[in-house]
Amino acid sequence: MSSPETIKKQIVDALSHPEAEDGLYFNNLIVVHEEEERPIVAGDEREIRAALDQLKRDGRIEVVGEGETAIFQLRR
């Protein structure tokens, strides 16, 4: 189990990666395929969702869309 602060940092690192220029779907945060180079976010689905919610409240990320098609991206 990772700390909430560690998970939030990993999310920001993943969203800062060039592969995430247009944002990432939730599933792209929890699964990194072999050919992808962005950092891994270590946490279970509940922990990652909680960290995303906190980052959104803090104004560090924005969410485009909703549900499974929501895209998470750093606030520009």
> What is the pTM for the complete model shown?
0.91
pLDDT of 23 strictly over 80: yes
pLDDT of 1 strictly over 80: no
Distance, CA of 64 to CA of 72 (rounded, Å): 7
Please give the CATH number for the structural domain made up of 4-74.
Answer: 1.10.10.10
pLDDT at 40: 87
- Mean pLDDT (the chain) is 92
3-class secondary structure, 73: strand
Give the pLDDT band of residue 76 (cuts 50, 70, 90): confident
The answer to whether residues 68 and 25 touch, using CB atoms and an 8 Å cutoff, is yes
